[in-house]
Structure 1
Amino acid sequence: MDTQPTPRNSPLDQPQVRSLSPHAHPALLQVIEGAIAQVNQTLYYDPSYVPLDYPNGDVPIERGVCTDVIVRAFRKGGVDLQKEVHSDMKLNFTAYPQNWGLTKPDPNIDHRRVPNLMTFFTRKGKALPVTQKAEDYQPGDVVSWKLSDGQDHIGLVTNLWSDETQNYLIIHNIGSGAQIENVLFQWKITGHYRYF
């Protein structure tokens, strides 16, 4: 990308774009750029239930939740998490959290729930150990957290590096639309996933 949105960080912390490994999956940069492109486009946090097209359904770009950041980014890398999660849930519904009183998969909402994405990534063998070591979290990784109010949250590790805290910045939507912030260790990490 020629320009990067300005992350919300301290004025002293000017992140640097880091190149990906030459061995990185070809879709990885597309995923990261797809996430970063949502900044200044996805402006609102809106958890409303919305009937979606299937596959490749999405809520309007100006709104969404934390999972929508991940879903939109992965689509730029050629992976439709709406379709992938729904297909897996159709075959393995009881392997997924039963927190919402549903009796069957719902392609309008299942991929927009953090516990379902966590379960999907784990079932696909994409889970990595949760650590407190910044170097373990690489660009394109997906990280989930438990917020102080008990809510689940999810974000994507960017290729923007903070020299101040020695870690990559996160893109997520926690209430003000898609934002790039230095929040990797802000909350309790509950999941770490590397799909690509």
Structure 2
Amino acid sequence: MSLYAPAPRIDRRLLLAGGLAGLLPLGACTGRLRINAAPGTPAAMARAAQDQLGVTTDYDAGYRALTYPGGDPPRKTGACCDVIVRAARDGLGLDLQKLVHEDMSKAFDAYPATWGLARPDVNIDHRRVPNLETYFQRAGGELWRAKDRETDGASFPGELETGDILTWREASGTTHIALVTRGGKRPLILHNFGRGVVQHGLGPMGFRRAAHGHYRWSGSVA
């Protein structure tokens, strides 16, 4: 079951081809990008994440038992956090399931108590946006975090670079996370918000979400 409001119905053939006709609700989705990235840099995540396009075509945020370390839902599905976890594994060789679990085991009280858990859970902790935000902050990767919901969903105050990680909040408290795959004045993001992994401009994220966090994380701060 999706945590997010239903996304517009889209012809996936158009989406994968980067066609514009049926994609206006998403702000013109794109196909794969060629990204130059040095090893061990955030941009390496963005480059690796291109392989998720056309592979992860469904959405599933449900709880499931995972192997540890290296546990992952089937690649054809997943939620927004799985996009980041897979990009980190494929692009940086870093396992956020393991990193988050180890950090939570050392400092459990530093993490949100939203779910009423008494101890870390390797099956789900790394698949929750507030936990990833906390881990990135503790790892020295936080650049900005909003103090309230007044910020527009496309209005991050700092310059966005390829490989940056962005988070949002909805009025309901629902969270979301995405990867910047092109920085600069016309940034692109890659994420799964309900119908598989897509890549498009940042602008449409302002419709019903508020910008919440901006992170730049790589092996140097793991």
Q: Does structure 2 retain, via aligned residues, the 8 Å contact 1:85–1:110?
A: yes
- 1:34 matches 2:57: no
Give the distance between the partners of 2:35 and 2:76, measured in 1 at CA.
29
2:66 to 36, 47, 52: 52
Deviation for aligned residue 1:134: 7.5
- The aligned amino acid for 1:140 is G
Give the distance between the partners of 2:45 and 2:70, measured in 1 at CA.
15
Give the distance between the partners of 2:97 and 2:19, measured in 1 at CA.
28
1:98 to 101, 105, 113: 113
Deviations 1:115-143 (A, max 9, x none): 00000000111000258368711100000
1:73 to 62, 83, 87: 87
Give the distance between the partners of 1:25 and 1:133, measured in 2 at CA.
26
Show the counterpart of 2:162: 139
Deviations 1:10-56 (A, max 9, x none): 5x9697957657xx554444311221211111111111111111011
Deviations 1:74-130 (A, max 9, x none): 001111000000000001001000011110000000000000000000011100025
Cα separation, partners in 2 of 1:171 and 1:134, compared to 1, 3 Å? farther
- 2:199 aligned counterpart, secondary structure: strand
Alignment of 1:3-14 (within 5 A): 6=18, 10=24
What's the C-alpha RMSD, in Å, of the aligned pairs? 2.9
Give the distance between the partners of 2:78 and 2:167, measured in 1 at CA.
17
Structure 1: any 5+ residue segments left out of the alignment? Answer: none
Give the distance between the partners of 2:166 and 2:29, measured in 1 at CA.
22
Deviations 1:136-183 (A, max 9, x none): 11100000011354310000000377xxxx321100100001110213
Q: Which moved more, 1:151-160 or 1:112-121?
A: 151-160
The higher relative CO (CA closer than 8 Å, separation ≥ 6) is in: 1
Q: Does structure 1 retain, via aligned residues, the 8 Å contact 2:42–2:164?
A: no
Q: Percent identity?
A: 41
- 1:169 matches 2:175: no
Q: Does structure 2 retain, via aligned residues, the 8 Å contact 1:141–1:192?
A: yes
Give the distance between the partners of 2:122 and 2:29, measured in 1 at CA.
40
Q: Does structure 2 retain, via aligned residues, the 8 Å contact 1:158–1:171?
A: yes
Deviation for aligned residue 1:62: 0.7
Cα separation, partners in 2 of 1:29 and 1:102, compared to 1, 3 Å? same
1:190 to 208, 212, 217: 212
Q: Which moved more, 1:88-97 or 1:35-44?
A: 35-44
Show the counterpart of 2:97: 82
In proportion to residue count, which structure has more strand? Answer: 1
Given the two structures, how large is their TM-score scaled by the length of structure 2? Answer: 0.74
